[in-house]
Structure 1
Amino acid sequence: MTRKLFGTDGVRGEANSDPMTAEMALRLGAAAGRFFRRDGRNGHRVVIGKDTRLSGYMIENALTAGLTSTGMNVLLLGPVPTPAVGFLTRSMRADVGIMISASHNPAKDNGIKFFGPDGFKLSDEAEAEIEALVAGEIRLAQPQNIGRAKRIDDGRGRYVEYAKTTFPARDRLTGLKVVVDCANGAAYRAAPEVLWELGCDVVPVGVSPNGLNINDKCGSTYTQTCAEAVVAHGADLGIALDGDADRVMIIDETGRVADGDQIMALFARRWAEMGTLRGGALVATVMSNLGLERFMDGLGLRLERTAVGDRYVVERMRAGGYNLGGEQSGHIVMTDYATTGDGLMAGLQFLLAMAETGKRGSDLVRQFETVPQMLKNVRYQAGQVPLEDQNVRKVIADMETRLQGAGRLLIRKSGTEPLIRVMAECEDEALLREAVGSIVAAVEEATA
């Protein structure tokens, strides 16, 4: 069953434009309610969290109307991180969890992500079934079976307390000054609270959301803000989250940034030394740097690669019994603690490494030498299929031949934005620039 509505991370788009309209959110809610209430019983419940986007109010209300119309009882969490929704879906024995967020995207976008009763994101098959229900006629509940909605005031507090349990009670963070950039997003209260309660001297950044400033020159996709704050305040570490706090970038005391690959490398090495890395492997996507793969080989460990998207990382982890995975973009998945990427918990694990080794952040952020990598994005318009253009295909084939044995090339459509992502790795930086530049030029010509 094919999917058109769902991308690699739920449904996403510009607010008040198809598919991210109130009407579509209502139908999605009703379809999800019917999908999870197939046995016809009453008493089914769904938890809904959101980030701080202005459009979240509209989508939250529309989803609630759709869900209650099919007999689901709705528990509204308000602004909480995406991993909190996964945790609370399972903790509160809900049948489904929903996060309203477009993650690292600008404020004009929004999205809807679904979690199953186990707290993990839905499979492609389940999303395809919901999409089929959206396209058809949705059977509504009888008047006496319409669901109820209730606001849960302590959802953030429950997540804060759980997050703290992932940091060993024997270790202390007292004396460490930490900048935490919450991207004016979902973790703007939870992340500073957790760090302060664990003993850090906290410098909060990006904690004044107004509905329109999420991810705006702050957070994990704009690390300059966090890096500047770290240096200005003489902090020991910076933790830069994205809008829904499922991604993280780490900044050491000098302002140097560690991406997801370097963070995963540190955790893999430490966990392997402690005997807690299950399966002798780390799961990452095809976007992860070749240097990470060589690093893992050098440790006698494996790097398992998947398609892009943290959901595919998690699926491989669950299938293989692995407990560590993630993406270069900063999704760090630790299934011992969470069902999805959790930027705050990954930050805590980095702080734990500092506390246990007595090393500075700068001693830990660079685990391996990266192979030169270049990534460029080309935007396209609705209805365009630039990767099917004959000239684009020819240029890609030519560059693949040129890179044979010297590097690798990865060309793909983004699953969350109308972008063609052109990525290449090569030790020969001149050839690297030529390969990416040629393909980008061809795609731009095809979309002109």
Structure 2
Amino acid sequence: MVRLFGTDGVRGLANGDLTAELALDLSVSAAHILAEAGTFNGHRPVAVVGRDTRISGQFLEAAVVAGLASAGVDVLLLGELPTPGVAWLTGELGADLGVMLSASHNAMPDNGIKFLARGGVKLDDAIEVAIEKRMREPWDRPTGAAVGRVRTLDTAVEQYAAHLDSTISHSLEGIKVVLDCAHGAAFEVGPRALREAGAEVVAICAEPDGVNINDGCGSTHLEVLQKAVVEHGADVGFALDGDADRCLAVDASGAIVDGDQILAILALAMREAGELHDDTVVATVMSNLGFVQAMKAAGVGVRQTKVGDRYVLEAMKLSGFTLGGEQSGHVIMSRHATTGDGILTALHVLDRMAATGRTLADLGGVMTRLPQVLVNVPGVDKSRTDEDFVLAAAVAEAEAELGDTGRVLLRPSGTEPLVRVMVEAASADQARDIADRLAAVVHQQLAL
């Protein structure tokens, strides 16, 4: 049986792979498994449920609520709210379970269900496996007063915005910001939080209609933000994705400031404030070598993990690190959040700008990005990537050619029959030349 849960909940084509029936069954099963695990400790369980702006979230929310309430769980509806907002309110309200309906940066036809345990943290893999196994098994249904109640929390946006603003130390007065909300879950709370912190905010792509989420905007289409920042004469711009758990930036000139640069800015700010645990930041193996070099020069250690924010979070939890993130803009600040939080990230970058009086371009200049080329090689047996001697020799030759001026990374895709060849070098031409040569060897040696 193929696992329903992926690295970030259950995701698929809404009403195709992800049906109302599946959503209901998953919710019932989750309630049963968490009850058996002692999560509810004998009290009447409470779940909070939020969603992004996809139109399919409406029927999926109804199905999830029906499943939970029929299993005796009281439900608090949060409405349209970012994933990190649902996670925070799960902990803040002392809920036993959180549920977020979103497919993040995916196109509108997709949707997903993410369950969160007490405190707003991701469910353990073992719990997810148990939930899948329990689905559609016979169970004793509560009746009468034992069924769950359903209420709406009208202050979810207000509470979450206030929490976000409480995490920064300086007024943002005098800073003009363009915020691209991707027509997603942050369309209301994002501009509100920044305005209440003192910033002048130009909100774009903040008019969701149920079908326009991530459509040519947000963190995967930065050209919209770049144009808006220049046109409005803004000091800075930020782009969120559909559920606002990631954030990328643009400086006043329209130049992109990616997740590595954002992570570098925040690492130095937190180290200066004594908030960077063990003077170490967690990143993935895909982080630009320029980031690693800049952190080393500044006396900040870098702990690298496999690609994926879940691996970053695992490393942070294991060693108590307080900052981690990815080049894609997932930034986790564990003192304030249990997951990546795009609005939180934007606020803390703005806080650093306000504290120092420096521009984003100046702050981002702490690191110099090495030219990076990524080539996908499809139709290959990715399981043999580490076993082929000819390929290993080609990689060794490339690494010797680069020396300390670059690096090579071969990474099998986690979801497709392809191998990703990533090369960083002192020049874009050198990076492209080496990447193409290695891609040819991968295809020759591992072709199916």
TM-score > 0.5 by shorter chain: yes
**Residues 421, 438 of structure 2: 8 Å contact kept:** no
Matches of 1:212 and 1:444, distance apart in 2: 43
Summarize the Cα distance change of 1:356–1:9 in structure 2 as closer, same or farther, 3 Å threshold. Answer: same
Matches of 1:396 and 1:69, distance apart in 2: 56
Alignment of 1:317-396 (within 5 A): 317-376=316-375, 387-388=382-383
**Does residue 25 of structure 2 align to residue 27 of structure 1?**
yes
**Residues 3, 128 of structure 1: 8 Å contact kept:** no
Aligned length: 437
Q: Which residue of 2 aligns with 1:260?
A: 259
**Does residue 396 of structure 2 align to residue 404 of structure 1?**
no
Alignment of 1:184-195 (within 5 A): 184-195=183-194
CA drift of 1:433 comes to: 2.5
CA drift of 1:400 comes to: 2.9
Matches of 1:61 and 1:175, distance apart in 2: 43
Matches of 1:345 and 1:264, distance apart in 2: 13
Summarize the Cα distance change of 1:105–1:399 in structure 2 as closer, same or farther, 3 Å threshold. Answer: farther
Q: Deviations over 1:67-118 (max 9, x none)?
A: 2222221111110011101110011111111111111111111111121102
**Residues 395, 438 of structure 2: 8 Å contact kept:** no
Matches of 1:197 and 1:443, distance apart in 2: 54
Q: Which residue of 1 aligns with 2:175?
A: 176
Moved more, 98-107 or 67-76: 67-76
**Residues 175, 200 of structure 1: 8 Å contact kept:** yes
Mind listing any 5+ residue stretches in structure 1 that lack a counterpart? none
Summarize the Cα distance change of 1:365–1:421 in structure 2 as closer, same or farther, 3 Å threshold. Answer: farther
**Residues 178, 238 of structure 2: 8 Å contact kept:** yes
**Residues 100, 111 of structure 1: 8 Å contact kept:** yes
Matches of 2:5 and 2:394, distance apart in 1: 32
Q: Secondary structure at the match of 1:375?
A: strand
CA drift of 1:215 comes to: 0.9
Q: Which residue of 2 aligns with 1:110?
A: 111
Summarize the Cα distance change of 1:14–1:419 in structure 2 as closer, same or farther, 3 Å threshold. Answer: farther
**Does residue 191 of structure 2 align to residue 196 of structure 1?**
no
Matches of 2:285 and 2:251, distance apart in 1: 26
Matches of 2:26 and 2:388, distance apart in 1: 36
Q: Which residue of 2 aligns with 1:139?
A: 139
Q: Deviations over 1:183-218 (max 9, x none)?
A: 000000001111111222111001011111111111
**Residues 423, 432 of structure 2: 8 Å contact kept:** no
Matches of 1:69 and 1:327, distance apart in 2: 39
Matches of 2:378 and 2:183, distance apart in 1: 26
Q: Which residue of 2 aligns with 1:246?
A: 245
Q: Secondary structure at the match of 1:304?
A: strand
Moved more, 326-335 or 298-307: 298-307
Matches of 1:324 and 1:217, distance apart in 2: 30
- Of all paired residues, the percent bearing the same amino acid is 42
**Residues 86, 115 of structure 1: 8 Å contact kept:** yes
Amino acid at match of 2:424: C
Q: Deviations over 1:11-68 (max 9, x none)?
A: 11121222x2222211211111111122584510111111001111121111112222
Matches of 1:423 and 1:269, distance apart in 2: 31
Matches of 1:290 and 1:388, distance apart in 2: 26
**Residues 391, 445 of structure 2: 8 Å contact kept:** no
Matches of 1:419 and 1:177, distance apart in 2: 45
CA drift of 1:273 comes to: 2.2
Matches of 1:419 and 1:61, distance apart in 2: 37
Matches of 1:433 and 1:115, distance apart in 2: 42
Q: TM-score, normalised by structure 1?
A: 0.90
Matches of 1:282 and 1:313, distance apart in 2: 10
Mind listing any 5+ residue stretches in structure 2 that lack a counterpart? none
**Does residue 37 of structure 2 align to residue 36 of structure 1?**
no
The RMSD of aligned alpha carbons is 2.8
Matches of 1:95 and 1:27, distance apart in 2: 18
Matches of 2:444 and 2:49, distance apart in 1: 40
**Residues 399, 435 of structure 1: 8 Å contact kept:** no
Q: Secondary structure at the match of 2:431?
A: helix
